[in-house]
């Protein structure tokens, strides 16, 4: 049996404004995470980052983050 969790889906906005995410990545939300805030918290555990952009937030998956930030 397959169940589909109702809630928000956070998908990748990276790597930049003009380019779609090559992986079309989305956060794998934990059970019980329903709000955008909760799902973003899940994403951070997987290496996602949230960037402030004018008027909204941009969610960036680990793959795009690696493409847009210099390696540390």
Q: Which residues bind Zn ion (CB under 5 A)?
A: 12, 14, 21, 25, 61, 64
* Closer to Zn ion by Cβ: residue 10 or 33: 10
* Closer to Zn ion by Cβ: residue 6 or 43: 43
Distance CA 64, CA 2 (A): 30
DSSP letters for 53-66: ETTEEEEE-HHHHH
* Closer to Zn ion by Cβ: residue 2 or 58: 58
Distance CA 40, CA 45 (A): 9
- Beta carbon of residue 12, minimum distance to Zn ion (angstroms, whole number): 3
Distance CA 45, CA 56 (A): 21
- Beta carbon of residue 60, minimum distance to Zn ion (angstroms, whole number): 6
């Amino acid at each position: 049996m397959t169940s589909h969790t109702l809630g928000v889906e956070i998908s990748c906005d990276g790597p930049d404004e003009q380019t779609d995410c090559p992986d079309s990545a989305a956060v794998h939300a934990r059970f019980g995470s329903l709000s955008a805030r909760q799902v973003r918290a899940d994403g951070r555990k997987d290496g996602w980052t949230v960037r402030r952009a004018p008027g909204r937030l941009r969610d960036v998956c680990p793959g795009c983050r690696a493409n847009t930030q210099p390696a540390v």
